[in-house]
Structure 1
């Protein structure tokens, strides 16, 4: 079957059959389909969309392009996935929290996509950490620790791995069927018994509108159910950075502070505990989401989640004492600079996408798929929406490797923040779809 004919059919708005989708996915996985053909297929789907049946066929074909895990563990296997945001380091706390409550979390994570940060890039900021272990090591760590935050192995949904990288650099990220298939192919290959989605909505999300986020959540939960995977979704707000830090090593440090109780950003805490409660309820580890949230908070407050994170880092090759001394290991930028508020008033709006792009411009993200990331750069102390500031008050602190980088980031941050009247601040969790 000719790839160009499959692309032409989708370009012209035809519904692709399972055999056409399977052939395209096989070509993506094997390399037989050229980079141009992969990009053209992504663009055709971006503009023409896919039916529910097409999205399911794409998901299952990408799942079956590599290994599919089966687990034999004494507790439920569950995971969470975020559609991507700025300052979204939830996974780093969530996996060990659920593990501390009796769940098993083989968290297959991705790298940064567009203006959003990637969980895998954050974990790579920890020296020695093996973010892409072989299957044997993954099974051992999940069994012994209860969680492992890793990237796709070469044998796990390899078609998606190539497709994902191409979408990142061809402006075809914001497609409901492609996002659905990318997420679920990896999750189904990981052998999950349950999945909770964190679908972002707002100016820092790929789905800017609440309606778009709902469409994506319904697509993912629907395709997941069709594939036999119990799946709930939370719609969460991304009209401002979720954590007060954005940048790989900086978000890892923020996560360690969260786990140890040194500092917890309120909105980040609300979203993390809501997702944990949903995961524990979905798998039957908690009677309901309210009980699950209480269990999650206990795991945090008693230090069990921090202990699980430390054991995971050590088991995957990182420093054994990382949780107690992250500053000893995380890279630091060559310089810092505060960005000062140009006027007094309330933070009336934040262009969250622009904040994410400022981190990319500093070197903390990718312009091209093969770019090398600088883990040390980014932003800390990001002021929340609705906070009253005086002229000269820091809006954030830039961590950069040169004055030129800092200058560019400062201008982007200043353009991203609007000082004015008190805004209506959205709730962190907007809707739960169960």
Structure 2
């Protein structure tokens, strides 16, 4: 085959054949198709889309570029969750041990933050001693011992996706829904889990700002799962305001521990329990222990502590604390009708909680604590947000990010998305 023929076919709106897809993905992974050629094909896919059959085959080709994990040695069914990312989205932290406490095994391969969205591995690495990098054998050992593991994906899973993802990032083709869906699903299918629940975020703090493209992405991923024999369900959930009160790394770990202790913000608890119930049902455990009970009786906390210890961490060690803080106070009394997720996430990033490039370090103590959420009544001069950073020079740019992120009115209810917008299966 020839790369030019494949590019022209998609440029002219034709459907790529299974043979064309298999060849071009394999050849690109091997270096036989040049970066500029794959960039042209990615742009053609962005502009002309892909059919369900094309997306499914493209996903299969990326899976075939690497290894597939196998959890058949475990004595319980496996299930996993993937979030498309947002601000304050620490759900994986309480969710993995919670689902394990209810009888399923959770092999959770997670990533790092980039830009205004946080990364699960960055959050967990704020726990002294905790290790993100585990071998396949170590993952299996932790799963067998605790029921849950959260770690970095190894280089052997879908290497074609890793190469293509980097190319999309610099060629303006990140937004292609077929390429987003196949990127996520190739890794999740290669991960070998028996069931998958997708948390597709909608709103200013999410990758998908509007409901329509988020729904299309969710439906595409659910279809890919069905085509590959993976039980897949998606929830569309709100990301027009931050999730919970804490945005950062260590501050989000502390909030997750509150949830596991039977407390925590109501929205974090609601979404964690809803996703846990979906994961258990998808794993074929509809009669499992109810997740709300596992939070209340401490069994989820027990799994959390064992999971952290199994990965080298100390669950009792003090979490990092930033050296400096700045309190942003309410300029007037009234109802907080808007707290924009993107603005808060951007502020946390500028405080040091995130990174601009994958190789950048993060400050584990940096972040934002929200003292009020949309719908709350606030008093003039009362704390709205507390900003945490290791260097006071970071505060002015963070405050700039927040200048248009909040709105206080005399009365009236905020115009917010429901926390759980829809379920797609």
TM tier, smaller: over 0.9
Q: For structure 1, which segment, 162-171 or 252-261, has the greater mean C-alpha deviation from structure 2 after superposition? A: 162-171
1:121 deviates by 2.1
Aligned to 2:118: 117
1:36-64 deviation line (CA, Å, top 9, x unaligned)? 55555444433332221221112111212
Conserved? CA contact 1:152–1:161, under 8 Å: no
User: C-alpha distance in 1, partners of 2:11/2:276?
Assistant: 41
The one of 311, 314, 318 equivalent to 1:316 is: 311
Aligned to 2:415: 424
Pair 1:336–1:8, CA change in 2 (3 A): farther
Aligned to 1:348: 337
1:12 deviates by 4.5
1:116 deviates by 1.5
Conserved? CA contact 1:78–1:192, under 8 Å: yes
Conserved? CA contact 1:169–1:367, under 8 Å: no
Conserved? CA contact 1:165–1:369, under 8 Å: no
User: C-alpha distance in 2, partners of 1:44/1:283?
Assistant: 37
Pair 1:156–1:127, CA change in 2 (3 A): farther
1:369 deviates by 3.0
1:75-112 deviation line (CA, Å, top 9, x unaligned)? 11110111111100101111100101110110111222
Please state if 1:89 is matched with 2:90. Answer: yes
TM-score by length of 1: 0.90
1:426 deviates by 3.0
Aligned pairs (5 A) from 1:30-109: 30=30, 39-72=39-72, 73-109=74-110
Please state if 1:337 is matched with 2:295. Answer: no
Q: How many residues align?
A: 422
Aligned pairs (5 A) from 1:8-407: 8-30=8-30, 39-72=39-72, 73-168=74-169, 171-261=172-262, 263-287=263-287, 295-319=290-314, 322=315, 325-326=316-317, 328=318, 330-407=319-396
User: C-alpha distance in 2, partners of 1:334/1:34?
Assistant: 48
1:107-147 deviation line (CA, Å, top 9, x unaligned)? 11122244321212222222322212111101111111111
> SS of the residue aligned with 2:332?
coil
Pair 1:118–1:170, CA change in 2 (3 A): farther
User: C-alpha distance in 2, partners of 1:368/1:4?
Assistant: 32
Pair 1:214–1:225, CA change in 2 (3 A): same
TM-score by length of 2: 0.92
Q: Unaligned stretches of 5+ in structure 2?
A: none
1:278-316 deviation line (CA, Å, top 9, x unaligned)? 1112222224xxxx6x71011111111111111111111
Q: For structure 1, which segment, 338-347 or 192-201, has the greater mean C-alpha deviation from structure 2 after superposition? A: 338-347
User: C-alpha distance in 2, partners of 1:373/1:266?
Assistant: 28
Pair 1:44–1:343, CA change in 2 (3 A): farther
1:201-257 deviation line (CA, Å, top 9, x unaligned)? 122222222222221111111111011111111111111011211112221121112
Q: For structure 1, which segment, 208-217 or 1-10, has the greater mean C-alpha deviation from structure 2 after superposition? A: 1-10
Aligned to 1:414: 403
Pair 1:218–1:136, CA change in 2 (3 A): same
1:68 deviates by 0.7
Pair 1:18–1:362, CA change in 2 (3 A): farther
> SS of the residue aligned with 1:206?
coil
1:172 deviates by 3.7
Conserved? CA contact 1:203–1:238, under 8 Å: yes
1:377-424 deviation line (CA, Å, top 9, x unaligned)? 111135211112222222211111222211111221232112224223
Aligned-pair Cα RMSD in Å: 2.2
1:299-342 deviation line (CA, Å, top 9, x unaligned)? 111111111111111111212xx1xx35x2x3222201111222
User: C-alpha distance in 1, partners of 2:336/2:171?
Assistant: 34
Q: Unaligned stretches of 5+ in structure 1?
A: none
User: C-alpha distance in 1, partners of 2:183/2:286?
Assistant: 29
Pair 1:36–1:383, CA change in 2 (3 A): farther
